[in-house]
Structure 1
Amino acid sequence: MPSAPALDQALLGEVTAAVRAAGDRLRERYVPQARAVTGDEIVAAIHANDDAVLDVLKTPLTAARPGAGWADDELAGGALPPGEWWVTDPAEGNINHVHGMPDWAVTATLVRDNAPVLTVVHLPLTGDDYTAVAGGGAWLNGVPLRVSAKTELGAALTGTGQARPGEDADTFRRVGSSVARMLADGLVVRVSVPATLQLIHVAAGRMDAFWQFSDVRSGLVAGALLVAEAGGEVTDVRGAPWSLASPDFLAAAPGIHGAAVAALSTIT
């Protein structure tokens, strides 16, 4: 019987096709200007994108792994029950999409016993596919990815962002304090959404670290696997191994990971 990694590798083509099809649908809905003005209009546009794309993604993935669960809430966090689960986002960076910005994607990640084992991140506007299978490396359109070789935090381009609307005041305070600390210790800090689109840059060595005070699964699992398979360190901000139960997240190039932990672990 083939091993789990071999079966996952064989599944990658089906997942990629499903994510690309969903991306085609989302691209058809994109216009390079804002589509909404009021808060209610923005929320409605976001939900309309999800509704238009979800079935295009869910139907083939459910058929590919009939026994896998489906994690429906894109803003939910924490550990999942044992077994296999699809953690997807039919419009990762939906807020950017409805504002006419290009930073959005479609993602699908297979999580097995709370560990991401396969992921596809598709960028519909460029056609790029970021893919990884646990133990098989991370890839961009078939070309292997490798994290940054930097060893000085003072030379590092790092990033963070808001995971969900309406975070509590303490989380906002920690985000602000961490940005101030990394502005002082690093070179440049990017603050943007969504998390996945920063994490693909970490996996590709374009950025050196990304952190977030959040446990939102759909924004972290794809990037966590890509960064780990590209040779990066994926932990919480105190340097402990990251899991879906972790309250926060850090992905970094090995050469600056320790310094990033030293800076971020002071933010309480």
Structure 2
Amino acid sequence: MPAETTSPTTDHLLLPAVIAAVHAAGARLLERFGHTAPLATFDDVVTAIHANDSASLDCLRDALRVARPGAGWVEDELEGGALPPGEWWITDPVEGNINHVHGQPDWGVTATLVRDNVPVLTVAHVPLTGRTYTAVRGGGAFVDGVPLRPSAKTELRSAMVATGQARPGESSDTYRRIGQSVTAMLEAALVVRVTVPATFQLAMVAGGQMDAFWQHSNVRSGLVAGALLVEEAGGAVSDLRGKPWRLDSEDFLAAAPGLQREAVQALSVVA
């Protein structure tokens, strides 16, 4: 599907429709929050997660297709890698779904428009706080209309950093890398958090409440929204070797600009 002729100005015109779609999905999930059936088994958890996904997608899918009729739709939120040329909606209908079904507060809804494998517009909404993060490529990043700016830190030893697993069922080699990277950062940074979901950790990097986030995975739906927020806020986004991050990169790093080089160095010990 060929991409339409666009610019930051025309992309910005999509924002109200995307915000409305994400807010509607968030309101549906807020109604469900705290009403999950008791979770006793793995199957119980999976069933609750799928029910949340379905409820959110009922709001998101049609609204986003109307907003951008020519854009494709990525069905599997846990996929990674590059997409075919053109425009695609990448959504996480319940970002932090595992938190939602366990009655924990860190969850939300994200929708990102990707054009030729580059995220160009994103909306990430946190229903429990009412916060809405937005970014359009070339137009800055905002939370509820207020510009986001990363932290001014220049020493990793003063930094609060975070990571987390992108999905269940990663390879044992990926789990080993996660463990090694946490140890490396415990020795280099001030405080290390290991948590999910990624998007809202990245929103904090964009807004300066967190100093860096890294991940050993390429699950697109957990990274595209936050990557655009950080980049448009003025932060640094790369892979773990400091090379430009792409949808098919094997790993990911977002940091305050004054910390990116030191973070790459600290994580370079992970084989």
Task: Give the structure-1-normalised TM-score.
Answer: 0.98
The CA distance in 2 between the partners of 1:112 and 1:148, in whole Å, is: 29
Shift of 1:6: 1.1
- Identify the residue that residue 70 of structure 1 maps to in structure 2: 73
- 1:91 maps to which residue? 94
- For residue 225 of structure 1, what is the amino acid of its counterpart? L
| Kept after mapping to 1: 8 A contact 2:150/2:205 | yes
- CA RMSD of the aligned region, Å? 1.3
TM-superposition CA deviations, 1:39-69 (whole Å, max 9, x none): 0000000000001110200111001111100
Paired residues of 1:68 and 1:86 also in contact (CA < 8 A): yes
Q: Distance in 2 between matches of 1:42 and 1:193?
A: 16
2:49 alignment partner in structure 1: 46
Letter in 2 for 1:93: G
Q: In structure 1, how many angstroms separate the alpha carbons of the residues matched to 2:185 and 2:196?
A: 18
CA distance in 2, matches of 1:152, 1:188: 13
Residue 98 of structure 2: SS of its match in structure 1? helix
Which of 144, 147, 151 is 1:148 aligned to?
151
1:267 aligns to what? 270
Amino acid at match of 1:223: G
Q: How many angstroms does 1:265 deviate by?
A: 2.1
* Residue segments in structure 2 that go unaligned for 5+ positions in a row: none
Q: Secondary structure at the match of 1:196?
A: helix
Match 1:138 to one of 124, 132, 141? 141
| Alpha-carbon distance between aligned partners in 1 of 2:152 and 2:127, rounded to the nearest angstrom | 29
2:16 to 13, 21, 24: 13
CA distance in 2, matches of 1:67, 1:232: 31
State yes or no: 1:114 paired with 2:117: yes
1:68/1:84 contact within 8 Å kept: yes
Cα deviation 1:228-252 (Å, max 9, x = unaligned)? 0010000000000000010000000
Partners of 1:232 and 1:3 in 2: how far apart?
24
CA contact (8 A) 1:32 1:101 kept: no
Once the two structures are superposed, what CA deviation does each residue of 1:120-177 show, in whole Å capped at 9, x if it has no partner?
Answer: 0000111110000001110000000000100000000000001010111110000000
Matching of residues 1-268 of structure 1 within 5 Å = 3-31=6-34, 35-268=38-271
Measured in 2, the distance between the counterparts of 1:143 and 1:34 equals 38
- Please, what TM-score do these two structures have when normalized by structure 2? 0.97
> Is contact 2:184–2:269 with CA below 8 Å preserved after alignment?
no
3-state SS of paired residue (1:7)? helix
Superposition deviation, residue 189 in structure 1: 0.4
Q: 3-state SS of the aligned residue for 2:43?
A: helix
Identity %: 67
CA-CA distance at 1:32 after TM superposition? 7.8
Is the 2:85–2:115 contact (alpha carbons within 8 Å) kept by the matching residues of 1?
Answer: yes
Amino acid at match of 2:12: Q
Letter aligned with residue 234 of structure 2: G
